[in-house]
């Protein structure tokens, strides 16, 4: 399989409303899409978003790395999907986000060529049962803003079938966050409720939070302390916590998962394609978590389009179980890049929304062009 043409789109898509995290306020989704075309005219699409506080990538750096990879990839033969990541590693050191963008497009091309859905390809690659139709994946809905707004949103989305929730914490005082968590937990009953501090808490506050009565109903607490703290801090937090500990920014691949597993420092992880370096690496991480009785949350960065959502969901469909839910972030965009954006059905995402071959969705080229970031241009090869 040879790449004959390539187009790169640097995008900026406004969010429906700003999303406040502990260390940043996000008002738009800056993301890079790539479209690769093979000799038979098939088009494969990939996506990766910027994440300065998670991967170190800005739009300029991500765009430069994707351009570099595309330029080198056009001269290579891409015949074995199990080697796509290794081939990309031979072209460029590090830069997992850019590689995930290229790998996604290459896998889209390959699975279209083989007339198989991406999730089926993943199952086949792991010798899993191809006959069983995957169950719908529970979608995780983020709560933020004033407490009154959070309660109103929880009520509205609960009526639509959502049962998995993430409460952003860490930007307010510990007392305020504990109060919010208690009130929201009471309102959400026996739903799967989590919190995420994006590493903004001190170890002392994190331990106080996890031992508190207000937090006792939580299914897990995600990345309470900074990823660059020593392992002994994570071990102590896990030891002192009365609730399961999840990690996000600390986990970029199998190496970190193995280290935290050996230390007994966590209960599960959030996997994003931009951290692991692509779909196949994320799938291996997810299977490793399951094999070691660790929990899984699948997530798109806030925010990515239906393209990344489809690729990420394919991992969940291949596995058959995503106990900590799927954070499908295109739901926070003002508009999406395909004719029929992926959407929740009773708080879940069903495989029936994906096409039978490839990643499962095809972006609308005109919509993509309309979303190109101001000051940037489409790049064609």
The pLDDT tens digits for 278-337 are: 999 999 999 999 999 999 999 999 999 999 999 999 999 999 999 999 999 999 999 999
State pTM to two decimals. Answer: 0.96
> CA 302, 257, 219 angle in degrees (round to 5)?
60
The pLDDT tens digits for 123-148 are: 999 999 888 999 999 999 999 889 99
Output the pLDDT for position 24. Answer: 84
Q: Per DSSP, what are the bridge partners of residue 13?
A: 29
Non-local (6+) Cβ contacts of 41 within 8 A are none
DSSP 160: T
The pLDDT tens digits for 145-199 are: 899 999 999 999 999 999 999 999 999 999 999 999 999 999 999 999 999 999 9
Instruction: Report the distance separating Cα 288 and Cα 257, nearest Å.
Output: 8
Q: Is the pLDDT of residue 23 over 90?
A: no
Instruction: Report the distance separating Cα 46 and Cα 293, nearest Å.
Output: 31
Can you state the angle between helices 279-291 and 96-113, rounded to 10 degrees? 100
Non-local (6+) Cβ contacts of 230 within 8 A are none
Output the pLDDT for position 206. Answer: 98
Q: Per DSSP, what are the bridge partners of residue 164?
A: 140, 192
Give me the torsion for CA of 228, 243, 327, 147, rounded to 10°. Answer: -100
Q: Per DSSP, what are the bridge partners of residue 222?
A: 196, 246
For residue 348, give the H/E element and its range.
Answer: strand 348-349
Output the pLDDT for position 130. Answer: 84
> What is the pLDDT averaged over residues 26-33?
95
Count of other CB atoms within 10 angstroms of residue 90: 11
Output the pLDDT for position 223. Answer: 98
Query: Which of 38, 95, 39, 91 has its CA nearest to residue 63?
Result: 95
Helices (H), 130-230: 147-159, 174-188, 203-211
């Amino acid at each position: 399989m040879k790449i004959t043409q390539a187009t790169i789109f640097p995008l900026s898509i406004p969010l429906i409303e700003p999303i406040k995290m502990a260390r940043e306020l996000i008002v738009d989704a800056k993301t890079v899409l790539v479209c690769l075309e093979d000799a038979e005219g098939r088009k494969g699409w990939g996506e990766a978003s910027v994440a300065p506080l998670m991967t170190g990538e800005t739009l300029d750096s991500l765009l430069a790395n994707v351009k570099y990879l595309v330029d080198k990839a056009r001269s290579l033969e891409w015949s074995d999907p199990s080697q796509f990541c290794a081939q990309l590693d031979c072209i460029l050191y590090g830069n997992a986000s850019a590689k995930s963008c290229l790998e996604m497009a290459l896998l889209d091309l390959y699975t279209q060529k083989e007339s198989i859905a991406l999730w089926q390809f993943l199952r086949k690659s792991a010798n899993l049962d191809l006959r069983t139709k995957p169950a719908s994946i529970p979608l995780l809905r983020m709560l933020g803003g004033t407490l009154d707004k959070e309660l109103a949103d929880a009520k509205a989305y609960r009526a639509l079938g959502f049962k998995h929730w993430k409460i952003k914490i860490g930007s307010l005082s510990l007392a305020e966050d504990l109060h919010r968590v208690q009130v929201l937990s009471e309102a959400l009953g026996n739903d799967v409720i989590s919190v995420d501090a994006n590493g903004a808490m001190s170890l002392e506050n994190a331990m106080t939070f996890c031992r508190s009565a207000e937090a006792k109903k939580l299914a897990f607490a995600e990345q309470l302390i900074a990823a660059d703290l020593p392992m002994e801090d994570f071990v102590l937090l896990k030891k002192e916590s009365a609730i399961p500990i999840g990690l996000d920014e600390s986990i970029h691949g199998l190496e970190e998962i193995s280290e935290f597993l050996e230390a007994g420092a966590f209960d599960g992880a959030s996997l994003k394609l931009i951290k692991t370096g692509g779909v196949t690496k994320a799938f291996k991480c997810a299977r490793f978590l399951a094999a070691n009785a660790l929990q899984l949350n699948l997530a798109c960065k806030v925010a990515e389009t239906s393209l990344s959502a489809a690729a990420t969901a394919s991992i969940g469909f291949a596995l058959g179980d995503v106990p900590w839910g799927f954070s499908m972030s295109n739901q926070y965009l003002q508009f999406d890049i395909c004719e029929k954006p992926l959407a929740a059905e009773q708080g879940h995402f069903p495989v029936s929304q994906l096409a039978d071959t490839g990643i499962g969705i095809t972006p609308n080229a005109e919509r993509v062009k309309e979303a190109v970031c101001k000051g940037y241009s489409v790049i064609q090869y």
